[in-house]
């Protein structure tokens, strides 16, 4: 038997009465590891090296912060089983929130992590020392020709990344196999005309076999980025897709919930471990209710030093406008990509001009 | 262009003030379909046939019940995109809860649905006119020999389904490739000795390629059921696995959340559409806080008539004991499978006797 690795430290907030905190913490440790009464376990190795431990309990903002020490061996060094041990059964207990996780050194080696990270994306779009710009192709139901035309306009304006709306999947109105080559062609033509380096990030969706087909189509037409929602695809399918794609992957937060896993942990730390190169999140003051502090913590989790794991590009989005660019740059700094979708498209026939204003505001 | 299909009706509860309900409902319809300002959309077809519609708004228990009509075409008839349209972005809005969905006739044909359902499982374990019994192999970290011995004991007691604990994945202590053949062998031997028909449901976990390997191993050693957590695997990977396995699949609720998608919808209706043959859920009065009414609604959603979609076996679980069997049978009736895991294993050397009491209580 090898020396047991240091524990994974998972921090939860429990909404329980003071008198119940200690026993509730102990039952959480059982739930998230051996899932049976400890008195029914005869094997000392299981009790000492497999069962999770309560490492600390303290009051925090009207709840109790409990840190569990989870044995890395129980996660099988695999993404779905890691989520299972962190938040599988206790996701069904509404008084439990998962707020933070720290991994022992070396644990990350079993996971892909970002392959490109912030620097890799900067090189592809040739953006040094400034924030990046991003816009979205919408709405679903549009013809492929319309989407390609939009993409060409945004690329001519100098937007760095043109992404599919996350609602563009593989529907009959705009099948992946027709849409993606047409949009990529429009962007290539614009780049040739302007000397720019705009890239396109189409939405990958569906089952494992569909993802493989989409990867082949994207490779054949020279797509340089991918967009995917890890919580919709399933994290293990996302990890496998990420490991096999040779372009940066931008994670979309759809289906990621808001309430029970802290957003900086899910959209920052965990999506980073699972291999996102850029991570989209709802910016404060838009259509979503995340606070400014939460958004700053997501960006911090995406970029903080983590030996062996590249920094992820934070992508604040969701109801943003060109007018908010200066304030967003002040908040996020230049290692970020600003995403404005509908806020540009409302300009309709003035889209090129409006997109140029966006690009200029970020480059200023 | 073909005639548009009837809409998918998705029911949400919005926690908003009365004055805001109508505009909030309209913005939800935009968020869950075209995701851009309607005034920026020129295409009449998109406005009329693609954008979601607010079909009704009414006060309900201190919140507002909003029914959206979602165009089936936007879901691409695919599981991840269906979840995206139902609850992708609005999962990030804490004031929104998804409580029910009804599908237009024929929509289910794009999905696998349960292949065996209640009747198919009954035939495999030869159980007519009575509830089924289930127990679990635990704890993780045990040796394969110990797990196989437990399985043999439970099978000799006449338990219908012996499942892996959902924490048994493919870890070093009990790799799938060693554990599953050993456990299946122990069960086969017990069946030969007793003339019984106990089946084993091992946990399928990991990425798409891992799932394929596990399916091959399970097939080779004659496994007759599979256990999988759709929310950990990812729903599209679950659907693909389900479509390719020729044994019943039991869904585990891990990582399914408790608060923002109503449990009867997720664990009942949606897991059924996605192809589960049996669905595990936390019974009231155990380690989880679901109410009795919620549990009855989950069972109802699993079994209610749905043309073209087989009934799913409800599997109440989570801290159950033999003493509660009569009350559970009264609540769920005989088209159910009772799952007692730790509550049997605490008997340790008296496990065979205790498991026999469980079997007898259900057959009584």
What is B46-87 written as a DSSP string? Answer: IIIIIS-EEEEEEEETTEEEEEEEE-GGGGTT-HHHHHHHHH
Confidence of residue B93 (pLDDT cuts 50, 70, 90): confident
Q: What is the mean pLDDT of residues B34-42?
A: 89
Q: What is the mean pLDDT of residues A266-289?
A: 91
Count Cβ neighbours within 10 Å for each residue of B110-143 and write b for 16 or more, e otherwise: ebbbbbbbbebbbebbebeeebbbbbbbbbbbbb
Q: Which of A168, A171, A196, A186 is nearest to A222 (CA)?
A: A186
Chain A interface includes B133 (CB < 8 A): no
Strands (E), chain A: 8-14, 53-60, 63-70, 96-102, 132-137, 161-164, 199-201, 226-228, 249-251, 278-282, 313-317, 337-339
Q: Which of B58, B71, B55, B70 is nearest to B14 (CA)?
A: B58
Question: What pLDDT sits at residue B273?
Answer: 94
- Asked if residue B112 lies in contact with residue B243, where contact means CB atoms within 8 angstroms, the answer is yes
Query: What is the percent of chain B where pLDDT is above 90?
Result: 87
Confidence of residue B301 (pLDDT cuts 50, 70, 90): very high
Residue B364 confidence (pLDDT) above 90: no
Q: What is the mean pLDDT of residues A65-83?
A: 95
Helix (H, G, I), strand (E, B) or coil at B2: coil
pLDDT tens figures, A161-210 = 999 998 999 999 999 999 999 999 999 999 999 999 999 999 999 999 99
Q: Which of A213, A142, A226, A122 is nearest to A184 (CA)?
A: A226
Q: What is the mean pLDDT of residues B11-16?
A: 95
Residue B138 confidence (pLDDT) above 60: yes
The crossing angle, in degrees rounded to 10, of helices A235-244 and B235-244 is: 90
Residue B259 confidence (pLDDT) above 90: no
Residues on chain B touching A150 (C-beta within 8 angstroms): none
Confidence of residue B121 (pLDDT cuts 50, 70, 90): very high
Q: How far apart are the CA of A231 and the nearest CA of chain B, in angstroms?
A: 7
Residue A76 confidence (pLDDT) above 90: yes
Kind and range of the H or E element at A178? Answer: helix A176-194
Question: What pLDDT sits at residue B274?
Answer: 92
pTM, to two decimals: 0.92
* Measured distance CA(B208)–CA(B32) in Å, rounded: 28
DSSP category for residue B344: H
Q: Convert B109-141 into a string of H (helix), E (strand) and C (coil).
A: HHCCCCCCHHHHHHHHHCCCCCCEEEEEECCCC
Q: How far apart are the CA of A229 and the nearest CA of chain B, in angstroms?
A: 9
pLDDT tens figures, B306-347 = 999 999 999 999 889 999 999 999 999 999 999 999 899 989
Question: What pLDDT sits at residue A289?
Answer: 79
User: How many CA atoms does the CB half-sphere of A295 hold within 13 Å?
Assistant: 21
Question: What pLDDT sits at residue B201?
Answer: 97
Question: What pLDDT sits at residue B200?
Answer: 98
Q: What is the mean pLDDT of residues B53-63?
A: 96
Confidence of residue A4 (pLDDT cuts 50, 70, 90): low
- Please give the interface size between A and B, counted as residue pairs whose CB atoms are below 8 Å apart: 313
Question: What pLDDT sits at residue A1?
Answer: 43
Question: What pLDDT sits at residue B185?
Answer: 98
Q: What is the mean pLDDT of residues A294-313?
A: 95
Residues on chain B touching A43 (C-beta within 8 angstroms): 141-142, 146
Q: What is the mean pLDDT of residues B216-230?
A: 97
Q: How far apart are the CA of B87 and the nearest CA of chain A, in angstroms?
A: 6
Q: What is the mean pLDDT of residues A44-50?
A: 94
Least confident of A254-268, B19-33, B215-229: A254-268
| Among A51, A209, A345, beta carbon nearest to B240 | A209
Question: Which ipTM value was assigned to this complex?
Answer: 0.90
* Measured distance CA(B95)–CA(A287) in Å, rounded: 12
Peptide bond into B139 cis (omega under 30): yes
Residue A248 confidence (pLDDT) above 70: yes
Confidence of residue B183 (pLDDT cuts 50, 70, 90): very high
Indicate the average pLDDT of chain A. Answer: 93
- Asked if residue A276 lies in contact with residue A250, where contact means CB atoms within 8 angstroms, the answer is yes
Q: How far apart are the CA of B291 and the nearest CA of chain A, in angstroms?
A: 12
Question: What pLDDT sits at residue A319?
Answer: 85
Place of tokens 């089936």: B72
Question: What pLDDT sits at residue A11?
Answer: 95
Distances (CA, A) of B148 to A138, B143, B179, B188: 55, 9, 8, 11
Place of tokens 């924030």: A131
Least confident of A109-123, A312-326, B250-264: B250-264
DSSP category for residue B6: P
Residue B3 confidence (pLDDT) above 80: no
Chain A interface includes B44 (CB < 8 A): no
User: How many CA atoms does the CB half-sphere of B196 hold within 13 Å?
Assistant: 23
* Measured distance CA(A6)–CA(A267) in Å, rounded: 25
Q: Do B84 and A288 touch (CB under 8 A)?
A: no
Place of tokens 């291999």: A275
Q: Do A139 and B253 touch (CB under 8 A)?
A: no
Residues on chain A touching B49 (C-beta within 8 angstroms): 141
Dihedral (Cα; A167, A172, A174, A176), 10-degree rounding: 90
Question: What pLDDT sits at residue A270?
Answer: 92
Residue B1 confidence (pLDDT) above 70: no
* Measured distance CA(A170)–CA(A14) in Å, rounded: 41
| Among B80, B95, B290, beta carbon nearest to A232 | B80
Least confident of A290-294, B30-34, B91-95: B91-95
Residue B215 confidence (pLDDT) above 60: yes
Residue B134 confidence (pLDDT) above 60: yes
Best mutation site among A16, A20, A35 for testing chain B: the one with the most B CBs within 10 Å?
Answer: A35
Q: Which of A28, A134, A246, A255 is nearest to B236 (CA)?
A: A255
Distances (CA, A) of B51 to A138, A200, B48, B71, B325: 12, 25, 7, 7, 49
Residue A258 confidence (pLDDT) above 70: no
Q: Which of B274, B280, B253 is nearest to B114 (CA)?
A: B274
Question: What pLDDT sits at residue A190?
Answer: 98
Q: How far apart are the CA of B79 and the nearest CA of chain A, in angstroms?
A: 7
Indicate the average pLDDT of chain B. Answer: 93
H helical segments located in chain B: 18-31, 44-45, 79-87, 117-125, 144-156, 176-194, 208-220, 230-233, 235-244, 263, 271-273, 292-303, 325-332, 342-345, 351-363
């Amino acid at each position: 038997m090898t020396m047991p690795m240091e524990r994974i430290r998972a921090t939860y907030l429990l909404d329980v009465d003071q008198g119940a905190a200690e026993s509730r913490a102990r039952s959480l440790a059982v739930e998230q590891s051996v899932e049976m009464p400890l008195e029914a376990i005869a094997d000392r190795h299981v009790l000492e090296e497999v069962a999770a431990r309560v490492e600390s309990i303290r009051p925090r903002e009207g709840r109790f912060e409990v840190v569990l020490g989870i044995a890395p061996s129980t996660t099988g060094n695999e993404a779905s089983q890691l989520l299972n041990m962190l938040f599988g059964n206790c996701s069904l207990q509404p008084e439990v929130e998962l707020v933070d996780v720290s991994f022992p050194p070396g644990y990350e080696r079993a996971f892909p992590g970002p392959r490109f990270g912030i620097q890799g994306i900067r090189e592809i779009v040739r953006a040094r020392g400034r924030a990046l710009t991003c816009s979205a192709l919408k709405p679903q139901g549009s013809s492929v020709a319309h989407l390609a035309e939009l993409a060409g306009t945004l690329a001519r304006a100098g937007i760095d990344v043109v992404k599919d709306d996350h609602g563009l999947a593989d529907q009959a109105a705009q099948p992946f196999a027709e849409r993606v080559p047409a949009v990529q062609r429009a962007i290539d033509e614009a780049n040739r005309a302007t000397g720019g380096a705009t890239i396109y990030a189409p939405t990958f969706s569906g089952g494992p076999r569909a993802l493989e087909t989409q990867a082949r189509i994207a490779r054949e037409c020279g797509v340089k980025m991918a967009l995917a929602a890890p919580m919709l695809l399933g994290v293990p399918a996302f990890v496998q897709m990420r490991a096999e794609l040779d372009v940066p992957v931008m994670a979309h937060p759809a289906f990621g919930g808001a309430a029970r896993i802290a957003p900086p942990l899910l959209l920052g730390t965990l999506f980073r471990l699972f291999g996102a190169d850029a991570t989209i999140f709802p910016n404060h003051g838009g259509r979503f209710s995340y606070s400014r502090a939460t958004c700053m913590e997501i960006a911090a989790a995406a970029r903080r030093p983590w030996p062996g794991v590249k920094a992820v590009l934070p992508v604040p989005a969701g109801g943003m406008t060109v007018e908010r660019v200066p304030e967003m740059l002040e908040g996020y700094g230049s290692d970020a990509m600003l995403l404005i979708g509908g806020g540009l498209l409302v300009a309709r026939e003035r889209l090129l001009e409006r997109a140029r204003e966006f690009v200029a505001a970020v480059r200023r």
